[in-house]
Chains A and B, each alone.
Chain A
């Protein structure tokens, strides 16, 4: 069985963000980088599937500059077998369709039985790449999965719907899953596996050899949300607070007129 996992390196969300000079993305200074949270669930599920079926080879793919190798090493330490680094110093400027096309261009000759991606990335959050890859490759996809079972080529997944609903969806491999929080608890890599990961194959591919499409989206500007007036917290006697609310509603809104 051949499994592909796509991971993205993203800034830790606690970082100090600044808009970059071009005004279209964030500045990289002072950012702590890590594996996209949802991709961790994807890696974990791929490794669990490998452990379940026994004979499987898990490829990890990541697009970006050299620094993404650090994140790939973590995936290798978690149990993936080999890595493909698509070298692209401006991956952040590419739209989800371009990214999906790059992945699909790599995947099409490798006949993967299963592909796992994160449900979305923590930085761009488009939630499109996974499903676009499946569409380009012409394979089934189930998005936002929170439960996964695999039995003899048959996938049964529970996926999240709006309003707290869940749906159980079945698909035949080959299929692509986009993974959501709650699917599993990503393992902590053991030291022997961290050591082994350093020796695993990590292939570099130039992005130009895989990118054959043009962007369909354009980022025009990136900016922080405008600061709006702060909220008011009323405290004290309930009767007084009610009067205060009525006054505010009278003064500042038209609901009581």
Chain B
């Protein structure tokens, strides 16, 4: 082989003089100007929102941004369209890098320093990679086109933006190949270089019969057309869903860095504040508005929303889009009315939407903020039963309306004392309302205590001094009542010398362990599954293996909110369980329907969420549905009765199964 420097002439056939460069850069400048102007208009709308610091912790934010953009890590979670998008992105991204390299050489290093780097072996790979990147991008785009326009999945909203995007991207990629083909047909056919652009080669062979003159005029025409398309692409970015290239990426940087699912703790002492919660765009933060621009309407949230999939008028995606509509078109409109109260009350705050969102959008806080407005400003609840439950919490410290003084009665029989009687304990068991008062759930409380006693631990409770942690009323929007309950519980617990708190309720766990942090509470809090798993590992808890079949339900507040998926499964495994997983498990688990304060409310719209989850459990063929949360257990007991499945399916808590297997 002759020693030949592999390369190609940049601006071949188009020319590299002022005649080309001047209009080319003029167009580029115009497109950048339109792009900048367009985004500045949107920036003004983001600024309608209140301040929120999302530029702290920059190092970690940049790492997150790079990971989520370059590795497409969130997009890829949903395999089918996720992989198509990922591959398309990588293809297009490589073409973008390639274009930048060409620009760098032609108009900078070569122009000023006579340095050319697009040559030799590097050029061969450069050529091959860009050629294949284009192919992958076209094929993936075609796949996404088929999905959107031919076999559209339910709920995939398709607008003019989608048509513009598909059309423009196809045109850009295809004109690229035709330009390459025309150039290769004239300059590379028959040279060893040609095989390093296999797709271009196909185009070249197809076009070669046109003859050199026609190819050259076609080439220059297409080159400018391609240029105009790219300029159009840049200009359209702020005005179409193309904006997500920028906004979604930026949202990875601005993403909530935890604690997961945290809500703003309102300052209720500030006397200058006259409104609470959100009903106007101006009462949201800028991030809430920015989120609406980061949404690509991929509907992943909607597909996983337990309210939406049981025919309730709630779609997390739609709420985000509606907020965007109001912010950009009618910023004075009432958000609660726009979104609809039924939609807002339907949310179980299960966090499935946020967990799956490939754009790092925060849905739940927006919903709770609007609920706060309804409750704190209008005194409104989803139903009278909820108002009654809230009043029960005010009067008796529990939503069931039972006398507060009998809160600790369940513990007398098993020799558990209150801290008021005997404060010298190993752990404080924060029992929660359901395990204190509800007959079915008292079994969980006694099981847990017996397990601790078997491990040689002394457990204390707060008894009648304990009050509801405030979680259900907080999620229903009653921040005021939540903060008064929290303040009382915190002051009470701080008055005893508590070293470790354990809860059997994931809602108490999340609230004491995370939400109370904002109110100056910092004692270690663990959910009993995590606590017992440690005792097991240490060897202080000994269990007999006694095999059984079951399926396991990840409660939202232990799973998604706290990423505890393995410890309960370890406990079940040690107990001898053969767990048959439901399709929706772990981070994609399906809510029981009781979160977000919905445990207090009647479920009057659509199918019952608990029935749906119980049906999923029954599908596994297991005859036992095991959970780790008193709300879940209550919902499953109801669902099993509702579906008449008492004979074939039993709802159990992990603690019950363990206590049966104490050695």
Chain A: minimal CB distance from B632 (Å): 26
Q: Chain B contacts of A188 at CB under 8 A?
A: 375, 379-381, 387, 390-391
Indicate which residue in A16, A187, A191, A192 contacts B403 across the interface (CB closer than 8 Å).
Answer: A16
Indicate which residue in B378, B395, B401, B403 contacts A190 across the interface (CB closer than 8 Å).
Answer: B378
A30 and B404 CA atoms in complex are apart in Å by 8
Q: Is B377 in contact with A12, judged by CB distance below 8 angstroms? A: no
Q: Is B379 in contact with A12, judged by CB distance below 8 angstroms? A: no
Q: Is B274 in contact with A30, judged by CB distance below 8 angstroms? A: no
Closest to B400 in A: A14
- Please tell me if A247 contacts chain B, counting CB pairs below 8 Å: no
Closest to A11 in B: B403
- Please tell me if B493 contacts chain A, counting CB pairs below 8 Å: no
Indicate which residue in A32, A185, A195 contacts B404 across the interface (CB closer than 8 Å).
Answer: A32
- Please tell me if B406 contacts chain A, counting CB pairs below 8 Å: yes
Interface size class, chain A:
10 to 19
Chain A residues 194 to 210 lying within 8 A of chain B, measured CB to CB, are: 194-195
Q: Chain B contacts of A64 at CB under 8 A?
A: none
Q: Is A30 in contact with B405, judged by CB distance below 8 angstroms? A: yes
- Please tell me if B616 contacts chain A, counting CB pairs below 8 Å: no
Q: Chain A contacts of B377 at CB under 8 A?
A: 190-192
- Please tell me if B276 contacts chain A, counting CB pairs below 8 Å: yes
Q: Is A192 in contact with B405, judged by CB distance below 8 angstroms? A: no
Indicate which residue in A12, A34, A185, A192 contacts B274 across the interface (CB closer than 8 Å).
Answer: A192
Closest to B384 in A: A185
Q: Which of B275, B397, B403, B404 has the most CB atoms of chain A within a 10 A radius of its CB? A: B403
A188 and B375 CA atoms in complex are apart in Å by 8
Q: Is B376 in contact with A190, judged by CB distance below 8 angstroms? A: yes
Chain A residues 58 to 77 lying within 8 A of chain B, measured CB to CB, are: none
Q: Chain B contacts of A192 at CB under 8 A?
A: 274-276, 377
Contact A14/B480 with A34-B395, A187-B379, A188-B390 known, Cβ cut-off 8 Å: no
Indicate which residue in A14, A185, A191, A195 contacts B396 across the interface (CB closer than 8 Å).
Answer: A14
Q: Chain B contacts of A185 at CB under 8 A?
A: 384
The dominant DSSP class at the A interface is: loop
Closest to B275 in A: A192
- Please tell me if B536 contacts chain A, counting CB pairs below 8 Å: no
Q: Is A15 in contact with B376, judged by CB distance below 8 angstroms? A: no
- Please tell me if B268 contacts chain A, counting CB pairs below 8 Å: yes
Q: Is A194 in contact with B384, judged by CB distance below 8 angstroms? A: no
Chain B: minimal CB distance from A192 (Å): 6
Chain B residues 221 to 274 lying within 8 A of chain A, measured CB to CB, are: 268, 271, 274
Indicate which residue in B378, B403, B480 contacts A32 across the interface (CB closer than 8 Å).
Answer: B403
How would residues 74 to 109 of chain A score, 1 for a CB under 8 Å from any chain B CB and 0 otherwise?
A: 000000000000000000000000000000000000
Q: Chain A contacts of B578 at CB under 8 A?
A: none
Closest to A187 in B: B379
- Please tell me if B402 contacts chain A, counting CB pairs below 8 Å: yes
Chain B: minimal CB distance from A214 (Å): 35
Q: Is A16 in contact with B405, judged by CB distance below 8 angstroms? A: yes
Q: Which of A33, A185, A188, A190 has the most CB atoms of chain B within a 10 A radius of its CB? A: A188
Q: Is A32 in contact with B390, judged by CB distance below 8 angstroms? A: no
- Please tell me if B464 contacts chain A, counting CB pairs below 8 Å: yes
A188 and B390 CA atoms in complex are apart in Å by 10
Q: Is A189 in contact with B379, judged by CB distance below 8 angstroms? A: yes
Q: Chain B contacts of A187 at CB under 8 A?
A: 379
How would residues 28 to 57 of chain A score, 1 for a CB under 8 Å from any chain B CB and 0 otherwise?
A: 001111100000000000000000000000
Q: Is A191 in contact with B395, judged by CB distance below 8 angstroms? A: no
A189 and B384 CA atoms in complex are apart in Å by 14
Task: Provide 16 A-B residue pairs closer than 8 Å at the C-beta atoms, listed in order of the A residue.
Answer: A14-B396, A14-B402, A16-B403, A16-B406, A30-B403, A30-B404, A30-B464, A185-B384, A187-B379, A188-B390, A188-B391, A191-B376, A191-B480, A192-B275, A192-B276, A194-B480
8 nearest interchain CB pairs?
A: A30-B405, A188-B379, A191-B376, A14-B403, A15-B403, A16-B405, A34-B395, A32-B396
